[in-house]
Amino acid sequence: MPVEFTLNGKPTSVDVDPSTPILWTLRDTLGLQGTKFGCGMAMCGACTVHLNGQAIRSCITPISAAEGQKISTIEAQANDKVGKAVEDAWVRHDVAQCGYCQSGQIMSATALLKGNKAPSDADIDAAMTGNICRCGTYARIRAAIHDAAKALA
Ligand code: FES
Ligand code: FES
Protein backbone atom coordinates (compact mmCIF):
# COMPACT_ATOMS: atom_id res chain seq x y z
CA MET A 1 0.00 0.00 0.00
CA PRO A 2 1.40 3.41 -0.88
CA VAL A 3 1.98 5.89 1.93
CA GLU A 4 0.36 9.25 1.20
CA PHE A 5 1.36 12.52 2.82
CA THR A 6 2.08 16.16 2.06
CA LEU A 7 5.74 16.90 1.36
CA ASN A 8 6.80 20.54 1.26
CA GLY A 9 3.23 21.52 0.44
CA LYS A 10 2.68 18.95 -2.32
CA PRO A 11 0.59 15.77 -2.16
CA THR A 12 3.06 12.87 -2.29
CA SER A 13 2.70 9.12 -2.51
CA VAL A 14 5.46 6.54 -2.14
CA ASP A 15 5.34 2.80 -2.51
CA VAL A 16 7.95 1.64 -0.02
CA ASP A 17 8.02 -0.70 2.96
CA PRO A 18 6.11 1.25 5.64
CA SER A 19 8.96 0.64 8.11
CA THR A 20 11.43 2.54 5.88
CA PRO A 21 12.78 5.55 7.77
CA ILE A 22 11.58 8.93 6.50
CA LEU A 23 15.26 9.83 5.95
CA TRP A 24 15.81 7.13 3.33
CA THR A 25 12.42 7.68 1.73
CA LEU A 26 13.36 11.34 1.24
CA ARG A 27 16.89 10.69 0.04
CA ASP A 28 16.61 7.47 -1.97
CA THR A 29 13.00 7.36 -3.18
CA LEU A 30 12.20 11.06 -3.54
CA GLY A 31 15.68 12.40 -4.35
CA LEU A 32 15.70 15.08 -1.65
CA GLN A 33 19.25 14.86 -0.37
CA GLY A 34 19.41 17.99 1.77
CA THR A 35 18.44 15.89 4.80
CA LYS A 36 21.61 14.18 6.03
CA PHE A 37 22.50 10.84 7.55
CA GLY A 38 24.79 11.13 10.54
CA CYS A 39 24.32 8.42 13.16
CA GLY A 40 21.06 6.65 12.32
CA MET A 41 20.32 6.43 16.05
CA ALA A 42 18.65 9.76 16.95
CA MET A 43 21.93 10.95 18.47
CA CYS A 44 23.15 13.73 16.15
CA GLY A 45 20.26 15.66 14.57
CA ALA A 46 21.68 15.71 11.04
CA CYS A 47 18.47 14.10 9.74
CA THR A 48 16.04 16.59 11.34
CA VAL A 49 12.86 17.40 9.40
CA HIS A 50 9.47 18.73 10.47
CA LEU A 51 6.50 16.43 10.90
CA ASN A 52 3.42 18.64 11.32
CA GLY A 53 5.76 21.48 12.32
CA GLN A 54 7.63 19.55 15.00
CA ALA A 55 11.34 18.79 14.62
CA ILE A 56 11.80 15.02 14.41
CA ARG A 57 14.68 12.64 13.74
CA SER A 58 13.87 11.19 10.35
CA CYS A 59 16.45 8.39 10.70
CA ILE A 60 14.33 6.60 13.32
CA THR A 61 10.83 7.64 12.21
CA PRO A 62 9.15 5.23 9.79
CA ILE A 63 7.43 6.62 6.73
CA SER A 64 4.22 5.00 7.99
CA ALA A 65 4.15 7.73 10.69
CA ALA A 66 3.75 10.30 7.90
CA GLU A 67 0.50 8.80 6.51
CA GLY A 68 -1.91 11.72 6.11
CA GLN A 69 0.57 14.10 7.77
CA LYS A 70 2.78 17.00 6.64
CA ILE A 71 6.55 16.71 6.21
CA SER A 72 8.71 19.76 5.60
CA THR A 73 12.40 19.55 4.68
CA ILE A 74 15.32 21.90 4.26
CA GLU A 75 14.50 22.22 0.55
CA ALA A 76 11.31 24.15 1.41
CA GLN A 77 12.63 26.52 4.07
CA ALA A 78 13.38 29.36 1.64
CA ASN A 79 9.62 29.47 0.90
CA ASP A 80 8.67 29.72 4.57
CA LYS A 81 8.75 33.07 6.39
CA VAL A 82 10.51 31.72 9.46
CA GLY A 83 12.70 29.30 7.51
CA LYS A 84 13.84 32.11 5.20
CA ALA A 85 14.63 34.37 8.16
CA VAL A 86 16.72 31.60 9.71
CA GLU A 87 18.57 30.90 6.47
CA ASP A 88 19.26 34.62 5.96
CA ALA A 89 20.60 34.92 9.51
CA TRP A 90 22.78 31.84 8.91
CA VAL A 91 24.33 33.61 5.92
CA ARG A 92 24.82 36.90 7.83
CA HIS A 93 26.62 35.06 10.62
CA ASP A 94 28.53 32.79 8.25
CA VAL A 95 27.43 29.89 10.45
CA ALA A 96 28.40 26.89 8.35
CA GLN A 97 31.87 25.41 8.40
CA CYS A 98 31.88 21.99 6.69
CA GLY A 99 28.10 22.32 6.46
CA TYR A 100 27.18 18.69 7.04
CA CYS A 101 25.07 19.27 10.16
CA GLN A 102 23.56 22.53 9.02
CA SER A 103 20.32 21.43 7.37
CA GLY A 104 19.42 19.69 10.62
CA GLN A 105 20.47 22.75 12.63
CA ILE A 106 18.29 25.02 10.48
CA MET A 107 15.29 22.69 10.79
CA SER A 108 15.60 22.62 14.59
CA ALA A 109 16.10 26.40 14.76
CA THR A 110 13.07 27.01 12.53
CA ALA A 111 10.86 24.74 14.64
CA LEU A 112 12.05 26.59 17.75
CA LEU A 113 11.23 30.04 16.33
CA LYS A 114 7.80 28.92 15.14
CA GLY A 115 6.92 28.14 18.75
CA ASN A 116 8.97 30.77 20.59
CA LYS A 117 9.35 34.20 18.99
CA ALA A 118 12.03 35.44 21.40
CA PRO A 119 14.00 32.49 22.78
CA SER A 120 16.53 33.01 25.55
CA ASP A 121 19.98 31.45 25.42
CA ALA A 122 18.64 28.68 27.65
CA ASP A 123 15.68 28.10 25.32
CA ILE A 124 18.06 27.88 22.36
CA ASP A 125 20.39 25.50 24.14
CA ALA A 126 17.45 23.29 25.15
CA ALA A 127 16.01 23.20 21.64
CA MET A 128 19.33 22.68 19.88
CA THR A 129 20.99 20.28 22.29
CA GLY A 130 20.32 17.24 20.11
CA ASN A 131 21.96 18.78 17.05
CA ILE A 132 25.66 17.98 17.11
CA CYS A 133 28.18 20.04 15.14
CA ARG A 134 31.63 18.48 14.86
CA CYS A 135 32.95 21.84 13.62
CA GLY A 136 31.78 23.58 16.81
CA THR A 137 29.63 26.29 15.24
CA TYR A 138 27.42 26.53 18.32
CA ALA A 139 28.18 30.17 19.18
CA ARG A 140 27.35 31.32 15.66
CA ILE A 141 24.19 29.19 15.64
CA ARG A 142 23.01 30.84 18.85
CA ALA A 143 23.78 34.34 17.54
CA ALA A 144 22.02 33.61 14.25
CA ILE A 145 18.89 32.37 16.03
CA HIS A 146 18.73 35.58 18.10
CA ASP A 147 19.25 37.59 14.92
CA ALA A 148 16.51 35.70 13.05
CA ALA A 149 14.13 36.29 15.98
CA LYS A 150 14.87 40.02 15.80
CA ALA A 151 14.34 40.09 12.03
CA LEU A 152 10.95 38.39 12.46
CA ALA A 153 9.79 40.66 15.30
S1 FES B 1 21.12 10.63 11.57
FE2 FES B 1 19.29 10.92 12.67
S3 FES B 1 19.89 11.74 14.57
FE4 FES B 1 21.76 11.24 13.57
S1 FES C 1 29.41 22.70 10.26
FE2 FES C 1 30.64 20.88 10.18
S3 FES C 1 29.54 19.48 11.45
FE4 FES C 1 28.52 21.35 11.73
Q: What's the 102 CA to ligand 1 centre distance in angstroms?
A: 12
Residue 1 has pLDDT above 90, yes or no: no
Residue 140 has pLDDT above 90, yes or no: yes
Q: The sheet that has 48-51: what strands, in order across it?
A: 10-14, 3-7, 70-72, 48-51, 54-57
Domain locations in the chain?
Answer: 3-75, 77-152
Question: If you average pLDDT over residues 85-110, what whole number do you get?
Answer: 98
* CB-ligand 2 contact for 96 (6 Å cutoff): yes
pTM of the model: 0.97
* CB-ligand 2 contact for 135 (6 Å cutoff): yes
Q: Tell me: the pLDDT tens digits for 16-30?
A: 999 999 999 999 999
Q: What is the mean pLDDT of the chain?
A: 98
- Sort strands 3-7 and 70-72 into parallel, antiparallel or unpaired: parallel
Fold annotation for 3-75: Ubiquitin-like (UB roll) (3.10.20)
Ligand having the closest approach to the CA of 101: 2
Domain 77-152 grouped into CATH 1.10.150.120 = yes
